Amino acid sequence: MPTITLQHVTKYYKSDGRKVPAVQDVDLTIQQGEFVFLTGSSGAGKSTLLSLMAGKVKPDRGRVCLDGKDVARIPKWRQQRNLLKFGQVWQEPSLVRRQTVEENLELVGLIGAPEQPGPSHSVENRVRKVIGLVGMQGYEKKYPVELSSGETRRVELARAMINSPPILLLDEITANLDDDNIWDMFHLLTEINRGGTTVVMATHASQYVNLLRRRVVTLVDGHILGDVSKGRYGEIM
């Protein structure tokens, strides 16, 4: 099962013709099965760090490795397989508006379908399973516009889980949700993590981070300032 390792990772973005670091000299190892909160103020580098882990952006310096293999050096033909290791939910709404919940899930489920799926691995079966996992039975034929923000986030999580990835990367998945929905989401993620899935989650939901007491990595100006097991929100030692 994959371990994520970042070694001296730096990522710059260009702003007004200048190179501005979003993540600076980050060393971080996340073992399979961990539950990690990424905290820090807006602009601290949380999303960039998640994108680096997923291989969505490449580091300007340093290495991002999955089980010791440098993600940047994975040949193109194997990148698809590598992507299947990550379930991802990003800040921007991403369901296809003209497709139903079921069709949205099938679309991603097909990418991870084994060449000769047995009945339990068929896409239909996996769609049914993840819809059950996130408690969205009865919503299969609905369109994204008919869903509340909490329901939309659940469907996005179901889509992230459909290929049973070993790692979940989540960026502000509870932003704009009310307290009940936030709590349900944290509960669900705890259950998923209990099943062995690594969860790495950028969040501002301090109250829930403090209740759950998992590993808390705090970023300030692209640097890791704190990395505390069973930590509290923003705790640095």
| Residue closest to 199 by CA, chosen among 50, 25, 68 | 50
Q: 194 burial class (0-12, 13-18, 19+ CB within 10 angstroms)?
A: exposed
Q: How far is CA 208 from CA 18, 149, 186, in A?
A: 38, 19, 8
Interface residue with ligand ADP, options 5, 39, 47, 203 (CB under 6 A): 47
- Check residue 174 for interaction with ligand ADP (CB under 6 A): no
Size of site (CB under 6 A) for ligand ADP:
12
Beta strand segments in 100-232, E: 167-171, 198-202, 215-220, 223-228
Q: Considering the complex, what minimum distance in angstroms separates the CB of residue 42 from ligand ADP?
A: 4
- Check residue 22 for interaction with ligand ADP (CB under 6 A): yes
- Check residue 137 for interaction with ligand ADP (CB under 6 A): no
3-state SS of 12-31? EEEECCEEEEEEEEEEEEEC
Interface residue with ligand ADP, options 8, 27, 29, 43 (CB under 6 A): 43
Interface residue with ligand ADP, options 5, 24, 39, 48 (CB under 6 A): 48
Interface residue with ligand ADP, options 4, 6, 30, 44 (CB under 6 A): 44
Q: Considering the complex, what minimum distance in angstroms separates the CB of residue 216 from ligand ADP?
A: 14
- The helix or strand, by DSSP H or E, that contains position 130, with its residue range, turns out to be helix 123-133
**3-class DSSP state of 234:** coil
Looking at beta carbons only, is 46 or 159 nearer to ligand ADP?
A: 46
Interface residue with ligand ADP, options 24, 34, 39, 45 (CB under 6 A): 45
Looking at beta carbons only, is 184 or 227 nearer to ligand ADP?
A: 227
- Check residue 42 for interaction with ligand ADP (CB under 6 A): yes
Neighbouring C-beta atoms of residue 172, cutoff 10 Å: 21
- Check residue 46 for interaction with ligand ADP (CB under 6 A): yes
Contacts of 64 (CB under 8 A, 6+ apart): 4, 5, 6, 9, 52, 53, 55, 70, 71, 72
Binding site for ligand ADP (CB under 6 A): 13, 15, 22, 40, 42-48, 202
